[in-house]
């Protein structure tokens, strides 16, 4: 259940000049990503600015992206919430239109204890037992870490198939890999940690950089998987400045700027996010130019 490949792109949400969602550009971008290294798209995750999207906008994005990539790639719906009831309702609605999985973030701000986290994810999984679920651990944004011990408990639920591990803690990822079945999928939540996490048993990455270098990331992972470690390392090191440049300020501000430099009409970010300053733009553009991406 729920094989999402190796490159899962956390897709941005394009906006029009008036701030409304640009569904046409979203569909075109989704098709482009799938043609350039993406196995699965996460729609309405952190990079998709889910905190400032309405439930109706999110649902329509699921519909549009599913149609755009029909038969070519899978779509994971970002349905997470810090309200269990809301997360269940959003996941059930998304499941009815045929998404291939859901991404469920650790509840943010209310900081539930580990028992509460277990009960939250268990309830969502039980409400949609046929829909594969990826857990999403990103304590830097949520204020709470999902412990390896809780992940191990959750991995015993049939349709909880993996985790996007964005704690930045390699020891934690190692412990999850050590204690979970091999079929439980671990995805890096940071592009710069993809290669290190592959070495301890990760399957791939939920990526921001794959908007720009999806094919190169595929080559890095496939090289690693066939034992060509030096080639994988060379690709990692070549792309490393890009990985860091895309987080010079809050994601997704830099990736949207990078896409605009490539000619994509993705618009701005929604408040309270804001456009970045000229210095960061110049640094980002210099990295893109060095990699021949603009």
206 is in an annotated binding site: yes
Which one of the listed residues 136, 187, 203, 256 is annotated catalytic? 136
Nearest C-alpha neighbor of 6 from the set 249, 178, 220: 220
| DSSP 8-state code for residue 193 | G
Active-site residue, 164 included? yes
Q: Find out whether 43 is annotated in a ligand binding site.
A: no
How many other β-carbons are positioned within 10 Å of the β-carbon of residue 263?
A: 8
Cα gap 34→288, rounded to integer Å:
21
- Per the annotation, the verdict on 203 as an active-site residue is no
Please tell me the distance from the alpha carbon of residue 50 to that of residue 277, in angstroms, as a whole number.
23
How many alpha carbons fall within 13 Å on the CB side of residue 41? 33
Q: Which structure tokens are listed for 2?
A: 């729920």
What DSSP assignment string belongs to 256-278? HHHHHHTT-----PPTTS-PPPH
The answer to whether 181 touches 24, Cβ cutoff 8 Å, is: no
Set 74, 164, 203, 256: catalytic member: 164
Q: Which residues are catalytic?
A: 136, 164
Known binding-site residue numbers: 47, 206
Known binding-site residue numbers for pyruvate: 47, 206
């Amino acid at each position: 259940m729920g094989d999402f490949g190796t490159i899962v792109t956390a897709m941005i949400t394009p906006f029009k000049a008036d701030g409304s969602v640009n569904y046409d550009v979203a569909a075109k971008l989704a098709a482009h990503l799938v043609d350039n290294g993406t196995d699965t798209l996460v729609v309405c995750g952190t990079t998709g600015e889910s905190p400032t999207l309405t439930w109706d906008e999110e649902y329509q994005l699921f519909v549009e992206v599913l149609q755009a990539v029909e038969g070519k790639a899978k779509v994971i719906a970002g349905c997470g919430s810090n309200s269990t009831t809301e997360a269940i309702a959003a996941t059930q609605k998304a499941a009815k239109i045929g998404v291939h999985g859901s991404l469920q973030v650790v509840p943010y701000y209310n900081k539930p204890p580990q028992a509460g986290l277990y009960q939250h994810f268990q309830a969502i999984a039980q409400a949609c037992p046929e829909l594969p679920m990826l857990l999403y651990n990103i304590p830097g944004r949520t204020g709470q870490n999902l412990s390896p011990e809780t992940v191990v408990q959750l991995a015993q639920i049939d349709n909880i198939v993996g985790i996007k591990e964005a704690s930045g803690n390699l020891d934690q990822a190692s412990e999850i890999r050590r204690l979970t079945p091999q079929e439980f999928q671990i995805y890096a939540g940071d592009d710069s940690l993809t290669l290190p996490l592959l070495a301890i048993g990760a399957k791939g990455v939920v990526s921001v950089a794959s908007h720009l270098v999806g094919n190169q990331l595929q080559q890095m992972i496939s090289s690693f998987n066939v034992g060509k470690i030096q080639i994988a390392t060379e690709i990692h090191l070549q792309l490393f400045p890009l990985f860091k440049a895309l987080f010079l300020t809050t994601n997704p501000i830099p990736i949207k700027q990078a896409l605009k430099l490539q000619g994509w009409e993705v618009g701005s970010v929604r408040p309270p996010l804001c456009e970045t300053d000229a210095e960061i733009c110049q640094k980002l553009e210099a990295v893109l130019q060095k990699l021949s991406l603009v």
